[in-house]
């Protein structure tokens, strides 16, 4: 446990809250117990006598009679108030709580490091003397799945003849476990990989492989966009796994936009025609071929290859057209060893490759920190030969949620709510009641619903069970003080406007220039179906990235590099085309765009592609192909080229 976290500011007195662990739930009276013991709680902790400091740190558990004054002036008497020192307060809390949020709060008091006894191996030291084909169990645990499959033959050769049949039974079962994992592109994972470090896509694929092993029958499996984060080669493995589940006698329903998965289905249901209020209808159902031939299908042209694949005029550039470049060399970071990468300025570049190939390491661990380095925050030590190419500013737009809590909405994240507040404060009814713009914010006491405090929901803390949330009974989820909602503009309360979608609001608020401009930008981003009051932490990664972009549109981006992490996640191919149009606008404004991507539509529309591989983990980390989409499609290095070539051929791009 970290002492500097237990008492982060020793210049504070105990009464002022110097002991952070005594501010935990159920410990807020501990300073009174300390005073009863004889500790001076009104002197800065650092100035207390050593014996009193020691009592705070290590004092014994004893019970004392204390009086606790309440805010109303009443005195609450406790006969047996137990003293818990600064350490005990955390340890006792951790021992009695199962609530995830509470555990996360308690973890702030701990420092986590490698165990000095096992050095991270996790096993008892005495077990490490037992070896199998020259490796102990910790060394085997550090192998990747691919390395383990190569290790297995050495086990057969090492074992005596009378153990061969036993080994064959055990190892054949092990091979059945590993085969679907490697088919799903997880061969780069080590056996000892911490579960919490796995991505959502990796966890989903591991769960899929487990279902294959159990050989269930009569089970309905429902998968929500399992293709997210998958290289096209891994998508093929995923399709094979889903077919295996069906062959075992199960049913599989998949929600996905990936045309390879759609084409592999037995039946396709197409929902649409658009998003939000304009969607929700079954517009086509049938085999992939039938949907591809349906006259009004939106996905059909992408299934049959009649859609236009390349929608950016500059995506057919030759590499000779690239004049200025930015880049760097990564000397030694994870699986990247002396890898030099550079990208053209004022072009759209994509980093592709298997999951675990080193894409995020190259872009987010090395390139972004190197280009944003300052004296206070120097470039990483594993970076050299940084070439800026005129890049002066980096805007890294990842898929992390927008806003930290439920109070963040589309309207608050943009300038929409600020403008609406001024509009409503200017209404006659508001002036009559002396309402200011603050009254029309649910984040301010004057405007917030008094019951839920402006969140629209009430959180019920049920002991021993996860917290439960329900819609606020006072405001019905509308967040505002009911009195504020009586002020109307053209018969709309401010909550009524926040209930509108972006596209609906474009008509209603067309006469308010500042808002209309933002709404138009959101619409151009393909976000017209979002509601103004929609909570931003609930948006998908792709939606979050496009929302973050709204603040950067419509002005010069000369010298600015925009970096995206799989911006196509969750997007229909038509939405991908909208996204590519957004990228083109950034380029037209003088900017440069770089994205990590697997989507073949995005790769086909790039100016420059850098493909890492050939596999993931220790099998990756090399530049296996680079150049224009045409050059990468013609390349025999790695796996991406062959899929990109087939994709271009499907859409008759030469």
Query: Which run of H or of E encompasses 429?
Result: helix 428-432
Range with lowest mean pLDDT among 28-32, 76-80, 443-447, 574-578 = 76-80
Q: What pLDDT sits at residue 615?
A: 86
Q: Are 219 and 251 in contact (CB under 8 A)?
A: yes
Mean pLDDT of the chain: 91
Please state the φ and ψ torsions of residue 275, each to the nearest 5 degrees.
-105, 165
DSSP state of 616: S
- Separation between Cα atoms, residue 14 and residue 84, nearest integer Å: 14
Q: At what angle do helices 86-96 and 50-58 cross, to 10 degrees?
A: 10
Q: What pLDDT sits at residue 464?
A: 57
Q: What pLDDT sits at residue 363?
A: 97
- Separation between Cα atoms, residue 158 and residue 155, nearest integer Å: 5
CATH 1.10.8.280 describes domain 3-107: yes
Q: What pLDDT sits at residue 319?
A: 67
Show the tokens assigned to 267. Answer: 């039946």
Q: Which of 544, 540, 533, 541 is nearest to 480 (CA)?
A: 533
- Separation between Cα atoms, residue 585 and residue 72, nearest integer Å: 62
Q: What pLDDT, in 10s, does the model give residues 521-551?
A: 999 998 999 999 999 998 888 889 889 998 8
pLDDT at residue 504 above 80?
yes
DSSP state of 129: G
Q: Are 231 and 354 in contact (CB under 8 A)?
A: yes
Domain 313-401+539-650 maps to which CATH number in 3.40.50.300, 3.30.70.600, 1.10.10.10, 3.40.50.10860?
Answer: 3.40.50.300
Which homologous superfamily does the CATH classification assign to the domain defined by 410-512? ABC transporter ATPase  like domain (1.20.1580.10)
CB count in 10 Å sphere of residue 111:
10
CATH topology identical between 313-401+539-650 and 410-512: no
Q: Are 384 and 623 in contact (CB under 8 A)?
A: no
Q: Are 534 and 409 in contact (CB under 8 A)?
A: yes
Hey, where are the domains in the chain? 3-107, 143-255, 267-304, 313-401+539-650, 410-512
Q: Which of 191, 245, 190 is nearest to 219 (CA)?
A: 245
Q: pTM score, two decimals? A: 0.78
Show the tokens assigned to 367. Answer: 């390139």
Q: What pLDDT sits at residue 68?
A: 86
- The C-alpha torsion from 298 through 301 and 303 to 306, rounded to 10°, is -170
Q: What pLDDT sits at residue 201?
A: 66
- The C-alpha torsion from 44 through 48 and 50 to 55, rounded to 10°, is -80
- Separation between Cα atoms, residue 435 and residue 43, nearest integer Å: 45
Show the tokens assigned to 636. Answer: 């025999």
Domain 143-255 maps to which CATH number in 3.40.630.10, 3.40.50.300, 3.40.30.10, 3.90.226.10?
Answer: 3.40.50.300
């Amino acid at each position: 446990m970290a002492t500097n976290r237990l008492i982060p500011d020793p210049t504070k007195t105990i009464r002022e809250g110097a002991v952070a662990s005594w501010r935990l739930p159920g410990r807020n009276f501990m300073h009174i117990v300390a005073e009863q013991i004889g500790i001076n709680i009104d002197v800065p902790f650092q100035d207390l006598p050593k014996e009193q400091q020691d009592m705070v740190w290590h004092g014994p558990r004893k019970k004392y009679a204390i009086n606790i004054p309440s805010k109303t002036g009443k005195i609450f008497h406790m006969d047996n108030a137990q003293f818990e020192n600064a350490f005990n307060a955390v340890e006792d809390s951790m021992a009695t709580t199962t609530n995830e949020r509470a555990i996360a709060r308690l973890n702030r008091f701990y420092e986590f490091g490698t165990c000095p006894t096992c050095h991270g191996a996790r096993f008892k030291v005495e077990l490490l003397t037992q070896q199998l084909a020259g490796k102990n169990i910790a060394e085997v645990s550090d192998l990747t799945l691919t390395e383990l499959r190569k290790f297995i033959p050495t086990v057969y050769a090492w074992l005596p003849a009378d153990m061969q049949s036993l080994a064959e039974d055990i190892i054949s079962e092990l091979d059945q476990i590993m085969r679907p994992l490697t088919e799903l592109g997880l061969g780069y994972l080590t056996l000892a990989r911490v579960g919490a470090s796995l991505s959502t896509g990796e966890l989903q694929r591991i769960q899929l492989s487990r279902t294959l092993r159990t050989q269930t029958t009569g089970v309905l499996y429902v998968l929500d966009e399992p293709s997210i984060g998958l290289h096209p080669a891994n998508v093929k493995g995923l399709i094979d796994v889903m077919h295996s589940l069906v062959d075992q006698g199960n049913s599989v329903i998949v929600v996905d936009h990936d045309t390879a998965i759609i084409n592999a289905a037995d039946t396709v249901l197409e929902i649409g025609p658009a998003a939000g209020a304009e969607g929700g209808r079954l517009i086509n159902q049938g085999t992939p071929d039938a949907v591809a031939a349906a006259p009004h299908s939106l996905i059909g042209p992408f299934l049959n290859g009649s859609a236009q694949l390349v929608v950016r005029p500059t995506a057919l550039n030759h590499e000779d057209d690239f004049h200025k470049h930015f880049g760097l060399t990564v000397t030694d970071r994870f699986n990247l060893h002396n890898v030099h990468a550079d990208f053209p300025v004022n072009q759209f570049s994509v980093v592709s490759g298997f999951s675990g190939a080193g894409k995020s390491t190259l872009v987010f661990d090395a390139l972004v920190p190197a280009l944003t380095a300052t004296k206070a925050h120097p470039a990483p030590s594993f970076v050299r030969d940084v070439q800026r190419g005129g890049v002066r500013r980096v805007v890294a737009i990842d898929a992390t949620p927008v806003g930290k809590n439920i109070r963040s909405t589309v309207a608050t994240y943009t300038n929409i709510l600020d403008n609406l507040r001024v509009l409503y404060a200017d209404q006659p009814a508001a002036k009559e009641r002396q309402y200011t713009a603050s009254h029309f914010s649910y984040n301010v006491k004057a405007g917030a619903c008094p019951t839920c405090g402006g969140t629209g929901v009430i959180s019920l803390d049920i002991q021993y069970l996860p917290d439960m949330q329900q819609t606020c009974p006072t405001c019905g989820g509308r967040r505002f003080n009911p009195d504020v909602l009586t002020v109307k503009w053209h018969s709309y309360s401010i909550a009524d406007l926040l209930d509108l979608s972006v596209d609906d609001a474009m008509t209603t608020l067309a006469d308010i220039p500042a808002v209309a401009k933002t709404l138009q930008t959101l619409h151009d981003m393909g976000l017209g179906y979002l509601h103004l009051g929609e909570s931003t932490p609930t948006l998908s990664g792709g939606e979050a990235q496009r929302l973050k972009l709204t603040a950067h549109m419509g002005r010069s981006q000369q010298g600015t590099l925009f970096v995206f992490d799989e911006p196509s996640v969750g997007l229909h191919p038509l939405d991908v085309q909208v996204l590519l149009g957004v990228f083109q606008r950034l380029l037209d404004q003088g900017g440069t765009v770089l994205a990590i991507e697997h989507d073949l539509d995005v790769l086909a529309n790039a100016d420059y592609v850098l493909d890492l591989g050939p596999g993931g983990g220790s099998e990756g980390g090399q530049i296996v192909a680079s150049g224009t989409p045409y050059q990468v499609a013609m390349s025999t290095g790695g796996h991406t080229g062959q899929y990109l070539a087939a994709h271009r051929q499907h859409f008759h791009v030469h």
